[in-house]
Homo-oligomer: A and B are copies of this chain.
Amino acid sequence: MTQTTDPAATARGQQLRALMLQYGGILMALVALCVIFTLMNGRFMTVANLTNILQQVAVVAIAAFGMTWVILLGEIDLSIGSIIAVAGMAGAQALAMGVGFVPALLFTLAAGAVMGGINGVLTAKLMLPSFIVTVATMGIYRGVVSLPTNGAPAMISDPSWIAIGSGSFLGLPIIIWIVLVLFLFNHILLSRTTFGRRTYLTGGNREAALYSGIKVDRLKIAIFTLSGVMAAIAGILLSSRLYSAQTNAGMSYELDAIAAAVLGGTSLAGGVGTMIGTLIGALIIGVMNNGMNMLSVPYFYQLIVKGLVILIAVWLDVRAKKRRA
């Protein structure tokens, strides 16, 4: 604001400018959406509603964090919707067997890791395209989820499990805390560690990464496992919010997760993308869904508007990036 050349302020200013350059297009889209909805419905911009949006977007956002890793590697994971369902069911079954909250939680996470790991091993070791591997496991996991209850939902009554989705901590819903913590975890892992760096390099050029001494196969398996675990966490949240594990839970969430990541600037060719972008992308989707419900837009028009907003947001982003280059 002032004209002094305080170096710290300058650095902050530069950081802000870099942020604006990188996310300008997509942030603009998010802000525009918020402004429009606020103008059209006074109740949109309330703490209660914003909390609502964050809670509703939590499941997709967490799945999208995992998806971002996979896409950064130049791969895709279409099975996460099914993993979300299996995770919920695994938790419900474990709880029903009376193993207790923490073991059930660990069991669920392990189930997610195993399912993601299978995707990774099939992709990396058998060298099958991840698209087809995860289309196949999408079906397989969706079949598996129905086996314990023959398709029926499983009730969950464990109070700790339920608290995840409806409890609060320091005035903020636990579910929002979880999103924040997972965002930070993934963001730091991606931007600050060798693991993240290897992901960027491998996604940018697999062959060059191999020659540079990166264990591409292991990395791939690790990342699909990570994506599976993220999906499992999303599944836990979802089952907790619904008080039950549904066999059709998470259906087609993979597309929302991919849309969030791509809206946020992640390139499907691999090698380009950030967690911040994905979070913004997920928020756009959440704001859009919430805002249109608030305005009582009929379902079919919602589909149309949602598609148009995605197009406009990506286009704004591509344009902003082109202008910068």
Contact = CB atoms under 8 A, between A and B. Distances in A.
- Give the one of A140, A142, A262, A322 with max B CB within 10 A: A140
B138 A300 contact: no
Interface stretch (A35-43, A101-109, A144-152): A144-152
Contact of A307 (B128, B138, B301, B310): B138
A198 to B, nearest CB: 22
A131 B300 contact: no
Dominant SS among interface residues on chain A:
helix
A314 B144 CA distance: 21
A22 B204 CA distance: 30
Contacts of A185: none
Which interface class (under 10, 10 to 19, 20 to 34, 35 or more) fits A? 35 or more
A314 B300 CA distance: 37
Contacts of A262: 129, 131-132
B126 A315 contact: yes
Contacts of A299: 146, 151
Contacts of A150: 300
B308 A258 contact: no
14 contacts: A127-B318, A129-B262, A131-B258, A132-B262, A132-B311, A135-B255, A135-B307, A136-B259, A136-B306, A140-B308, A142-B303, A143-B300, A143-B307, A151-B300
Interface of A: 78, 122, 126-129, 131-133, 135-140, 142-144, 146-147, 150-151, 252, 255, 258-259, 262-263, 267-268, 299-304, 306-308, 310-311, 314-315, 318, 322
A-B pairs, top 5 by smallest CB distance, nearest first, are A143-B303, A140-B307, A143-B304, A139-B307, A146-B300
